[in-house]
A and B are shown apart, each in its own frame.
Chain A
Amino acid sequence: GENVEQHPSTLSVQEGDSAVIKCTYSDSASNYFPWYKQELGKRPQLIIDIRSNVGEKKDQRIAVTLNKTAKHFSLHITETQPEDSAVYFCAASPYGQNFVFGPGTRLSVLP
């Protein structure tokens, strides 16, 4: 079955700096890769996703890149703000049939 690893487990950056979180997956059948942000005590919220037919996707300060050959994908947040502080989860799914999540990265943006 699918296995998703995520690094780092914790990340601290200064406000305004960039943050990068990396995930690897094992199942070549996975073709959909969402990223979720979860604030303390709240539900996960989708922030960006990418499908296997593209290599990069950007939405304002957030971008995701996918390397299908190497089976890894990364989340990039530029110009970080304190409200970006949360736990971020990556996931991999074959056609939305089941989702395997990474263990999460706790991002702290220091003012």
Chain B
Amino acid sequence: GAGVSQSPSNKVTEKGKDVELRCDPISGHTALYWYRQSLGQGLEFLIYFQGNSAPDKSGLPSDRFSAERTGGSVSTLTIQRTQQEDSAVYLCASSAGAGGSTDTQYFGPGTRLTVL
């Protein structure tokens, strides 16, 4: 693919429902990152995958958040029992790999999540 893609682009849900966000990284990119950006704010790191494993889950805000990556490609971020404070744009990025000149990150367009 030409770049990182994310789906859905927009998601409106009711408080208490579960949501699943999807990220398709650039083909061949082994590293994948999830961030959250609240309106007018900076980028909050959530989780990082190298291949299918997540060496750094330190940014996940609570146990309602989980992420997985299968086949070293597509990743899903799941938020259970959504709360209004979960409303934000969720951005995914990928890079060719960690280290050296391969660590440049490319961002997807984001998923705008609104919890009513």
Residues of A near any B CB (own CB < 8 A): 1, 32, 34, 36, 42-46, 49, 89, 91, 93, 95-104
Q: Which residues of A contact B104 (CB under 8 A)?
A: 34, 46, 49
> CB within 8 A of B43: which of A1, A44, A45?
A44
Q: Which residues of A contact B105 (CB under 8 A)?
A: 34, 46, 96, 99
Q: Mark B86-99, 1 if CB is under 8 A from A, else 0.
A: 00000100010111
Q: 8 closest A-B pairs (Cβ-Cβ)?
A: A96-B103, A96-B98, A101-B43, A43-B107, A103-B42, A95-B99, A98-B56, A104-B42
Bound-state Cα–Cα, A51 to B45, Å = 21
- Decide: B110 and A43 in contact? CB cutoff 8 A: yes
Is B25 located at the chain interface by the 8 A CB criterion? no
Q: Mark B78-116, 1 if CB is under 8 A from A, else 0.
A: 000000000000010001011100111111111000000
- Decide: A97 and B91 in contact? CB cutoff 8 A: no
- Decide: A44 and B33 in contact? CB cutoff 8 A: no
- Decide: A93 and B103 in contact? CB cutoff 8 A: yes
- Decide: B98 and A1 in contact? CB cutoff 8 A: no
Bound-state Cα–Cα, A43 to B108, Å = 7
